[in-house]
Copies of this chain bind each other. A is one copy, B any other.
């Protein structure tokens, strides 16, 4: 294919020497992942009309290099003829101060794009080729469009060996944590089920037993709460690697946000493109999860795969295929992986949204009689499986041990230690003041709850940004409900968001009610 420019290093340096430099100007534009550079149509650098055919430019200053997408402007107040505007993400990544001189040249596309094109054409890639792609993606050398081409090009045809290489390269591109422990336990849920906050119960149980479990979680991207969003109601979660290590040294476990830890920067970029495109293959999920766990230094990993019509995995056969993939890659990278298929037909517990979910978690840890039994049982079952990684524990005794730690108060005490060690929450943590019951459209028995729909409604209501927004569920599968009786209540903090969620819930509440029973 016709690449606009392919220059040797010698040529490049010679050419950039003869080129006028521009003064860097920081432009307060949030362009998400994408690096964006802005130059004036009257720029003193290469004429913008020559750049028009090129979508990408390279910014250079001494040894610094940054690939960016070019926007040309006629707004003289924004960027002058002798200036180079860098939108926030590009400014941050380039790391030179405003006013510093830099040059701009048409970008040579990353060499690894040749491998992406080869993959699209059907060729199997070598581990070295995959590694080069992942390194370029992690260094933000790909545009979103190029990342999309890689994701889609490998979506349908990735081999097991390629998946293995992908996982290893993704882990290698990030920070690697070392714990110097024979067993570093971890758990992960592939997501999709509202209210499924088992980590905040499993971690204190496992840590109370004495196993190391340094749990990092993500914030929600399309759901109303991730573990990091919910834990943040109780404590600080944006820990640095050093802070995380201190917490784990003191408490055996932590519940931190993974964002500052930089475990898999390539995965962060890939997820940012997968989500809006709605592409989420099993293979990409496996590489994403295992690369992060490998980088996090885990040795034993339990994966929760909820199965249900509106869950990410719809049936037992798909769950089995997923399990095989996790096991294959896990074995090859030296990570003991166990996959548990769980009930994903409806939300776990009755709260959706950070504040509501926190209340349920604490009520389980405090062994209150009204605590949701499904959340308690699922957490005990998962914790029990993890405890059996302990060679000291008798085979089959994990569940009993977990229950003992929970019912005896050790888990609650451990959770409080972890909260204290992580520091106080920086957020407003009241339940939203706006509330509206959503009535049942029929009389009958609840037969289905659409998890995707509830996730969307919770998100519309303002969660997870508003910690106190969310949904309190009144009726679950098997419950009898009268026409007009509330099936759940929506909470909101801010009127326009709240109204959006209520209007959407009234149109489609996401419940299926079987008509009144006869006989």
* Cα of A153 to Cα of B8 in the assembled complex, Å: 33
**Given known A27-B75, A117-B279, A278-B1, contact A156–B497 (CB-CB < 8 A):** no
- Residue A373 is within 8 A (CB to CB) of chain B in the complex: no
Contacts of A178 in B (CB 8 A): none
Mark interface residues in A116-145 (1 if CB within 8 Å of B CB, else 0): 010011100000000000000000000111
A250 close to chain B: CB less than 8 A: no
CB contact between A152 and one of B47, B120, B504 (< 8 Å): that residue: B120
CB distance from A447 to the nearest CB of B (A): 22
Beta-carbon contact of B73 and A28 below 8 Å:
yes
Chain B hits for A113, CB < 8 A: 277-278
Picked from B145, B151, B280, the residue with its CB within 8 Å of the CB of A144 is B145
Q: Nearest B residue to A156 by beta-carbon distance?
A: B122
Nearest Cβ distance between residue A342 and chain B, in whole angstroms?
19
* A136-170 interface code vs B (CB 8 A; 1 in, 0 out): 00000001111111011101110000000000000
9-residue interface stretch from A48-56, A195-203, A436-444: A48-56
In contact, A278 and B503 (Cβ under 8 angstroms): no
Task: Evaluate whether A277 and B149 lie within 8 angstroms (CB atoms) in the complex, with A5-B456, A53-B222, A221-B53 already known.
Answer: yes
- Bound CA span A19–B499, Å: 10
Q: How many copies does the complex hold?
A: 2
- A46, A144, A273: residue with the most chain B Cβ atoms closer than 10 Å: A144
A4 located at the interface, meaning its Cβ lies under 8 Å from any Cβ of chain B in the complex: yes
Would you call A15 and B109 a contact (CB within 8 A)? Answer: no
Q: A462 contacts the other chain (Cβ, under 8 Å)?
A: yes
Minimum CB–CB distance from A381 to chain B (whole Å) comes to 26
Q: Is A7 an interface residue (CB 8 A)?
A: yes
Q: Which residues of A contact B (CB under 8 A)?
A: 1-8, 10-11, 14-15, 18-19, 27-32, 38, 41, 46-47, 49-50, 52-56, 71-75, 77-78, 87, 109, 113, 117, 120-122, 143-149, 151-153, 155-157, 192, 221-223, 273, 275-280, 452, 455-456, 459-460, 462, 465, 494, 496-497, 499-500, 503-504, 507-508
Query: What would be 27 A-B contacts, judged by CB atoms less than 8 Å apart?
Result: A1-B278, A2-B222, A3-B456, A4-B456, A5-B456, A7-B504, A14-B503, A28-B74, A29-B73, A30-B72, A32-B55, A46-B496, A50-B497, A78-B78, A109-B276, A109-B278, A117-B279, A120-B152, A121-B155, A121-B156, A122-B156, A144-B144, A145-B148, A146-B277, A149-B279, A152-B153, A156-B157
